[in-house]
A and B are shown apart, each in its own frame.
Chain A
Amino acid sequence: MGVIVGLLLLATLVTVRVTTAELPTEALSDAAKDFFTLSISVFIESLPFVFLGVVLSVLVQVWVPASVFDRLLPRTPVLRRVAMSLLGVFLPVCECGNVPLARGLIVRGLTVSESLTFLMAAPILNPVTIITTYQAFGWDHGILAGRIVGGFVVANLIGWMFSRHPRQHELLTPKFEASCQVAHTEHTTRSRVRRSVLAFAEETSTMLPALVVGCAIAGAIQVGVSRDIMLALGSDPVWSVLALMALAFVVSICSNVDAFFVLAFGALFMPGAIVAFLVFGAMIDIKMLALLRTTFTTGTLVRLTAIVALCSLVLGLGVNLIA
């Protein structure tokens, strides 16, 4: 049934595209055009990473034995979280791709705090992000070092804090928590291939609507908020950090390419603001919150956002003070 609905939807979109391709676009206002352009650009940029993340998630959930993680990860909780924060080195996907993978890790039995550590660190501590940041800024003003060190510290702080929660499963949405239970029971009743297909369908049908909504909100806010205002704030050591954090939250750009995006602001904004953009935006943005909401409760996300934002602010202000 779902396949039929999907095909019908696809056919409708193709029909609309074919029949309206030649129509003039003057009927749309500039704001509407900007909205569609910005929303679709974020969506298209994120989509491959989401699918890659879903595939990796399915592999982790279905094909990697649970004992692998127990065998490979250290026993001490602190060291486990440190190891999880460095897992992104082997999984170079952006933050949106890491959400399904983090879900897979939870399903496979890792704690919520460990998965959160991975989720926060992996978009920054992965080779693609490090290389693109280096290409954009080199070693100038400690931006690259600030991003790597800052990302590592913030992710582990988040992991440590949530590890102190007495019932970590309460940090998850009831629906996702229930699906974890179902996944455990399915292990014994279905073949791996069938479970893979079902997990892929489940993850994509959960992620894609959230991605669409997140991209639409990001596009709408970018149209609504004047960039001139943010640029006017760029000359202040404090406001510049807040302005670029707000920009990172709104534009929802993937961590693999965000360094090139913010490079254009490098001449106007202070180095600490750039670092805050690169750390905060890689961990939390509108699109990411929409995706995270599929897995974590609102309260968890409020705490998560507040602490990541404050950490990024401190990091940015610190860099501004010394760089």
Chain B
Amino acid sequence: MSTESARGSRAESARAESPRSEQRQRARFQRLTIAVVAVLVVTAGALSLANALQGPRLSSVEVNPNTAIQRPGQRLILRTNQPVREVTSAQWSITPATDAELTVAGNELTLRFAESLDYATEYTITVEVAGVATGATGTLEYTFRTPDPQLFTLLRTEGVDRILRHSFSGAVTDEVVFEAERIQEYALLGDYLAVVTFDERGTPVLGLEPLADRPAVTVPTPPALAIRVVRASTQSNLLGYIVEHERSGGGGGESTVASTLFVYDLSDASGVPIEVTGIGGMPLIVVDWTFVPGTGSLVAQGPDQQLYLIDPLGSTEPVPLGQHIELRGFIPGTARLVVADFLGGSVLDLVAGSNEPITLREPELDPMLAPGKQVFLDDESFFHLRHRIDYETSSVSSALYFTDARGTVEVFRPPSESSRVLDYCLSPNAQHLAIEVVSPEGVPDHYPVEPGFTATMVYLINVEDGTSERRLNGFAPDWCR
């Protein structure tokens, strides 16, 4: 037997000699047991009461601000420590005011944003809730800030061209991230800028210039007369571009210039671009093209104006979408492509596979204004550019208008009457416009592809109220690529 046990036995023997003492010890143990139980019961009672009076509290939150600024329909999930009752619209709010829907299931409150959220904005959600079991009320409050995205512009100056980085909020401005003697165009692909420059012989070269600490990559192309329409799909790690190159005619015929679309997969270790082909693997001459937003699929237009939906990495055949004059872009947040036809326009829904003509309200504007680019917000509302040409002074002035079912309003007019709008586009979240404005002193730079002007600025405009937010040096913002 161990020492401990022996000690215990001796102690017990000693106690046996004193029955009264042992009796006292037993009674003390009983009292101790009762006291411990009593303390625990009282504590449990007090805690029960406190729990019953305490309303639901926030236990965790799930939200991805990065995707919330990119796509509509994103969710924010508030989880409470106990299931809560249904919440009416009067019981919750979000500031700044945003179109959203709140649903409750158990201890999860799911807020679905109807639109993409704004950049660099602090959102606060407040919900008055009541516990299902206790009815005790509480206030849930959660604040988060959306990212401040970076924007790029191309600045062409005498002797050197630069790609500038800005932050949307203005914290970063005119930071040079790449420069070369001549930059034709560029596209943002994740942590890379795909840039078309020219070598010493004037041949266009496509390279991937790193924005982070990574090696630069030269994208192999056939001997190119021109590289144009460079676009990127960051979600799919794909870069696409049209190469104009000579193709020898068969049977000793004259060589012709072919426009071939290539896709470069950044995640493909081989680094070999893929030629986009037509039905049956036949060569496809591409006039214009665009990625389907958020996917690796693309829509390409042939010289016969036939459109094809193509999965460049897959084995499926291209899907003909019919003949249309022009690609006008996707309705934000959808796979609905607006195209121009001879007698108007159509919307091609690439998910549903439908083709619906669109009937737009005729803008109530001076018919002498020359129409320009159209950008659609949805099936019924669109931005459109109008130019007034003064033949006496040979000057052009521009203004941007917005037309929907309610009528037409002017959205933007350059500060100088003789300035004109070169191009414009919507931000990825469709809440801002980037408008390229050429100052009166701007002169053409005579680039053969993607020509521009000196003295060009990009104005950022709030779509909701038309307020001017910032001006950036350069043109060709990456939102428009």
Q: Please say whether chains A and B are actual partners in one complex.
A: yes
Which residues of A line the B interface, CB within 8 A?
66-67, 69-70, 108-111, 140-141, 157, 161, 164-169, 184, 234-240, 267-268, 270-271, 303, 306-307, 310-311, 313-314, 317-318, 320-321, 323
Q: Does B103 interact with chain A (Cβ within 8 Å)?
A: no
Residue of B with least CB distance to A161: B36
Which residues of B sit under 8 angstroms from A317, Cβ to Cβ?
44, 47-48, 50-51
Which residues of B sit under 8 angstroms from A271, Cβ to Cβ?
59, 81
Residue of B with least CB distance to A166: B25
Name the one of A111, A235, A310 contacting B132, with C-beta atoms under 8 angstroms: A235
Known: A166-B25, A317-B44. A236 touches B12 (CB 8 A): no
Binds A, one of B3-11, B61-69, B389-397: B3-11
A157 pairs with B36, CB closer than 8 A: yes
In whole angstroms, how far apart are the Cα atoms of A310 and B36 in the complex? 10
Name the one of A66, A235, A270, A314 contacting B43, with C-beta atoms under 8 angstroms: A314
Residue of A with least CB distance to B48: A238
A111 pairs with B36, CB closer than 8 A: no
Residue of B with least CB distance to A67: B2
Q: Tell me the smallest distance from the CB of A323 to a CB of chain B, in Å.
A: 6
Which residues of B sit under 8 angstroms from A238, Cβ to Cβ?
48, 51-52
Name the one of B32, B81, B131, B132 contacting A323, with C-beta atoms under 8 angstroms: B81
B1 pairs with A164, CB closer than 8 A: no
Name the one of B2, B41, B52, B83 contacting A109, with C-beta atoms under 8 angstroms: B2
Which residues of B sit under 8 angstroms from A165, Cβ to Cβ?
29
Provide a sorted-by-A list of 14 A–B residue pairs whose CB atoms are within 8 angstroms. Answer: A109-B3, A111-B5, A111-B8, A161-B32, A161-B36, A166-B12, A166-B25, A167-B12, A235-B82, A235-B83, A237-B131, A307-B33, A313-B40, A320-B82
B1 pairs with A237, CB closer than 8 A: no
Q: 9 closest Cβ contacts across the A-B interface?
A: A109-B2, A236-B133, A317-B47, A310-B40, A237-B51, A166-B25, A109-B5, A235-B83, A66-B2
Q: Does B313 interact with chain A (Cβ within 8 Å)?
A: no
Name the one of B2, B25, B26, B52 contacting A108, with C-beta atoms under 8 angstroms: B2
Residue of A with least CB distance to B40: A310
Which residues of B sit under 8 angstroms from A184, Cβ to Cβ?
1
Complex interface bits, B221-258 against A, C-beta within 8 A gives 1, otherwise 0: 00000000000000000000000000000000000000
A168 pairs with B8, CB closer than 8 A: yes
Interface of B (DSSP majority class): helix
In whole angstroms, how far apart are the Cα atoms of A105 and B50 in the complex? 42
Known: A235-B133, A314-B43, A321-B51. A166 touches B15 (CB 8 A): yes
Interface of A (DSSP majority class): helix
Q: How many residues of B contact A (CB 8 A)?
A: 39
Known: A237-B133, A314-B40. A267 touches B2 (CB 8 A): no
Which residues of A sit under 8 angstroms from B37, Cβ to Cβ?
306-307, 310
Residue of B with least CB distance to A140: B60
Give me 10 other A-B pairs in contact (C-beta within 8 A), A161-B36, A164-B32, A271-B59 excluded: A69-B4, A70-B2, A110-B2, A168-B8, A184-B1, A270-B82, A310-B41, A310-B44, A314-B44, A320-B47
B47 pairs with A321, CB closer than 8 A: yes
Which residues of B line the A interface, CB within 8 A?
1-5, 8, 12, 15, 22, 25-26, 28-29, 32-33, 36-37, 40-41, 43-44, 47-48, 50-52, 54, 59-60, 81-83, 106-108, 131-134
Which residues of B sit under 8 angstroms from A66, Cβ to Cβ?
1-2
In whole angstroms, how far apart are the Cα atoms of A102 and B253 in the complex? 97
Which residues of A sit under 8 angstroms from B3, Cβ to Cβ?
70, 109
Which residues of A sit under 8 angstroms from B59, Cβ to Cβ?
141, 271, 323
Residue of A with least CB distance to B25: A166
Q: Tell me the smallest distance from the CB of A136 to a CB of chain B, in Å.
A: 16
In whole angstroms, how far apart are the Cα atoms of A310 and B60 in the complex? 29
Q: Tell me the smallest distance from the CB of B21 to a CB of chain A, in Å.
A: 9
In whole angstroms, how far apart are the Cα atoms of A116 and B32 in the complex? 17
Q: Tell me the smallest distance from the CB of B41 to a CB of chain A, in Å.
A: 6
Which residues of B sit under 8 angstroms from A310, Cβ to Cβ?
37, 40-41, 44
In whole angstroms, how far apart are the Cα atoms of A161 and B29 in the complex? 8
B8 pairs with A320, CB closer than 8 A: no
Residue of A with least CB distance to B79: A267
In whole angstroms, how far apart are the Cα atoms of A307 and B59 in the complex? 30
Q: Tell me the smallest distance from the CB of B444 to a CB of chain A, in Å.
A: 61
Residue of A with least CB distance to B26: A166
Known: A140-B60, A237-B54, A238-B51. A110 touches B40 (CB 8 A): no
Q: Tell me the smallest distance from the CB of A319 to a CB of chain B, in Å.
A: 10
A237 pairs with B134, CB closer than 8 A: yes
Residue of B with least CB distance to A313: B44
Residue of B with least CB distance to A236: B133
In whole angstroms, how far apart are the Cα atoms of A317 and B52 in the complex? 10
Which residues of B sit under 8 angstroms from A314, Cβ to Cβ?
40, 43-44, 47
In whole angstroms, how far apart are the Cα atoms of A323 and B54 in the complex? 12
Specify which of A66, A70, A236, A323 lies most central, judged by the most chain B CB atoms within 10 Å of its CB: A236
Name the one of A267, A311, A313 contacting B107, with C-beta atoms under 8 angstroms: A267
Specify which of B5, B15, B41, B50 lies most central, judged by the most chain A CB atoms within 10 Å of its CB: B5
A318 pairs with B12, CB closer than 8 A: no
B51 pairs with A320, CB closer than 8 A: yes
Known: A267-B107, A321-B50, A323-B59. A109 touches B1 (CB 8 A): yes
In whole angstroms, how far apart are the Cα atoms of A235 and B40 in the complex? 23
Residue of A with least CB distance to B8: A111
Which residues of B sit under 8 angstroms from A313, Cβ to Cβ?
40, 44
B2 pairs with A270, CB closer than 8 A: no
Which residues of A sit under 8 angstroms from B12, Cβ to Cβ?
166-167, 169
In whole angstroms, how far apart are the Cα atoms of A161 and B34 in the complex? 11
Residue of A with least CB distance to B132: A235
A111 pairs with B29, CB closer than 8 A: no
Name the one of A69, A235, A268, A311 contacting B131, with C-beta atoms under 8 angstroms: A235
A303 pairs with B33, CB closer than 8 A: yes
